[in-house]
Amino acid sequence: MAGEYGYPFSSVRGDFIRAIVGLVLCSLPVMFGLELIVVLWFLVPLIILFLIFLVRTIFRYVTTVTVTEEWIRVNSFFKTTLYWSEVTDFKLSYFTLWRGGEKGWMEMQLRNAKKSIRIESSLIGFEQVASRALSAAEDNHVSLNSATASNIQAFGFNLKRQEVSVG
C-alpha cells in the first residue's frame, strides 16, 4: 500500500508572490539603468537571494512524497529514498514567527547513515507520513530529543516508549 503526497499550491502561493514581487522590485532599478554603484551592490545580492527563494519554492511545489511499508521517497528534481529499517534519526521541529507560538509550522527530518529527508507540515498527508516515520523511529529504537518528544505530544501522537535524550 503506497501513498503519494504533495504540497498544494495554496501552501506555496505566498512564497511565489513574495519571490516574484521581490525580484521585480529589485530588478526594475537595474533594468532602467541605475548608475549608483552603491545601490547596485545592495540590489544585485537581493536579486540573487530572491532567485534562490523562487527556485526553492518551485522545488517544494513539484515535490512528491511516496510512502510504502518499506521506504519513504522524496521526489522533486532528485529522488531520495530512505528505508524505514535504516532510519537512525527522527526530529520533529516547530517554527513560528509569532510571539505567542500560534500560526507556526512543523518540519520533520529523517536520517540514515548517508541521506537526510526534510518534510514540512504543509504537505498534504503530513500526519500520515509523520505517524509512519515515528513508528519506524520507535521500531529502530531511535532516541528522541526533548523538543521532538514534546512536539510529538503536542501534535497528538502517543509515544510507545518514553526514552528521550537530552539535547
pLDDT tens, residue by residue, 36-60: 776 778 888 999 999 999 999 999 9
In the predicted model, is pLDDT for residue 161 greater than 70? no
Whole-angstrom Cα distance, residue 39 to residue 81? 45
* 137 neighbors 90 (Cβ within 8 angstroms): yes
Q: How would you list the strands of the sheet with 79-83, edge to edge?
A: 3-6, 64-67, 71-75, 79-83
What is the C-alpha radius of gyration for the chain, rounded to an integer number of angstroms?
20
Whole-angstrom Cα distance, residue 60 to residue 9? 10
Of residues 60 and 162, more confidently modeled: 60
Q: What share of the chain has pLDDT > 90, as a percent?
A: 57
| E strand spans, 31-98 | 64-67, 71-75, 79-83, 89-95
Cβ atoms within 10 Å, residue 68: 15
Residue 1 falls within a domain, yes or no?
A: no
Residue 2 falls within a domain, yes or no?
A: no
84-118: per-residue pLDDT in tens?
Answer: 999 999 999 988 887 766 778 889 999 998 999 99
Whole-angstrom Cα distance, residue 8 to residue 4? 13
Same domain, 58 and 100: no
Q: What share of the chain has pLDDT > 70, as a percent?
A: 90
3-6 and 79-83 as β-strands: parallel, antiparallel, unpaired?
unpaired
Count up the domains in the chain and report the number.
2
Same domain, 42 and 68: no
Cβ atoms within 10 Å, residue 21: 11
pLDDT band at residue 165 under the 50/70/90 scheme = very low
Of residues 149 and 155, more confidently modeled: 149
pTM: 0.76
- Segments forming the whole domain that contains residue 74: 64-165
Same domain, 149 and 116: yes
Same domain, 153 and 86: yes
Mean pLDDT of 142-167: 72
Nearest to 143 by CA among 162, 129, 120, 156: 162
